[in-house]
Structures are given as structure tokens and as C-alpha cells.
Chain A
Amino acid sequence: KNQVEQSPQSLIILEGKNCTLQCNYTVSPFSNLRWYKQDTGRGPVSLTIMTFSENTKSNGRYTATLDADTKQSSLHITASQLSDSASYICVVLDSNYQLIWGAGTKLIIKP
């Protein structure tokens, strides 16, 4: 069964610190992998979309990496800010154009 698993479930870090969120997937083959940010009470907003041929993609302080061989992706946040507090969701698009959503990592940035 196609699955997307994220770790950790939740994470608390101090403002200004870096952090890395993990995503493991069993979807094969896949078309692309996305990371979304979801603020509390809002809809998800796309951070990056990566195809299987891309290893890394940046969006400001957010950098996503992808290893298609090990079926792992990570989202690295540099110099965290209070506004980074949110849930981060990994999503994989399979070959049937179905989006497989992870449950997300809840990130809390403390001052």
C-alpha cells in the first residue's frame, strides 16, 4: 500500500535554531514530491514541488532534499522564526495522479 510517513510527529525548537523534518514514502513509481506548510486554522500552502530527478530545492530558508533510491525526503529550515510554527506536510504524487498525504510534523518555535 502506498504510504507517506513523517517524523517526528512534533518538534519544539528555539527561535534561530535549524531543524530537519523527515519524510519516508513507499509510493513507487512516483511523479513528484511536495512539501506543504499549514498554519493553524488555515489551508496548506505549497513550499516546494520536486520531481524524481531533483535532489534539492530551496525556497528561502526552506530546503527540501530528495533521495529517490532510498525513498526519503527531508525539509531543512534554517534560522527558524516564530512564524515557522506550523504543520509541515509531505505529499507524494503517484503514477496514477493520486496524491498520497503524510500526517504532518507539528513544529513549534519558542522565543
Chain B
Amino acid sequence: DAGITQSPRHKVTETGTPVTLRCHQTENHRYMYWYRQDPGHGLRLIHYSYGVKDTDKGEVSDGYSVSRSKTEDFLLTLESATSSQTSVYFCAISESESVGEQYFGPGTRLTVT
């Protein structure tokens, strides 16, 4: 998985609780992304980062926030988890913005009850 780890790999939480997912890379790539994957849908971009402290919204950013204080770490926070945020979350990295190769982490399966 191209030097990308995600933690936790599985999490069950209750509606209304905050949740933070972590993505860590050892490739020193500039760009990092958070996607969610749901049955019957293509991957959908939540947020992405183009450098330390530089982030922008994706297609489905409502209810999510991100932070990037170091090149290697990109955090995704659900401030108050809802059942609609039950999904598999993937982190990806790339050297250039979207044009080139994206490398994906192993994913985090989040269940909100």
C-alpha cells in the first residue's frame, strides 16, 4: 500500500460522538486525499490537502473537517457522527494534483450506530 497506513482500521461508534481517522504516509508526497466508498457509488472525495496546513473541500465535505500539521499526517474528523457517515474511508496520496498516480491506503471501516 505504497507506504500509507490508516488508523484505526475498524471502528464502531455511536451517533453524536466525535471521531478522528488518521492517515500516515512515508512517501513525502505533497497531496493527500480522503475519500469515502459506499455500495453502488464510486469513490467520493471528502477533502484534500496540497501542503501542510493547506486543505480544500471535495464533493461531500459536509459534516467532515480535516487537518494537516505535518507532511506525513492527514486527519479526518467527524465532529458529530451520523448514521449516514457509516462507510469505508480511504486515504490517498499523490506527488502531483490528480494528474498523476494516486496511491491508496488500506481503508478504515466506520460504523455509526
Contact with A along B5-41 (1 / 0, CB 8 A): 0000000000000000000000000000000000011
Residues of B in contact with A, size category:
20 to 34
Q: Chain B residues with Cβ under 8 A from A102's Cβ?
A: 42
Residues of A in contact with B, size category:
20 to 34
Q: Chain B residues with Cβ under 8 A from A104's Cβ?
A: 42
Please name the residue on chain A nearest to B39 by beta carbon: A103
B45 within 8 Å of A (CB atoms): yes
Q: Chain A residues with Cβ under 8 A from B105's Cβ?
A: 43
Chain A's interface: helix, strand, loop or mixed, by majority? strand
B62 within 8 Å of A (CB atoms): no
* B97 adjacent to A41 (CB under 8 Å): no
* A32 adjacent to B107 (CB under 8 Å): no
A107 within 8 Å of B (CB atoms): no
Q: How many Å lie between the Cα of A45 and that of B104 in the bound state?
A: 7
> What are 6 A-to-B residue pairs whose CB atoms are below 8 Å?
A31-B99, A43-B104, A49-B101, A97-B98, A98-B45, A99-B43
For the complex of A and B, list the 6 residue pairs with the smallest distance between their C-beta atoms, beginning with the closest. A101-B42, A43-B104, A97-B98, A101-B43, A103-B42, A44-B104
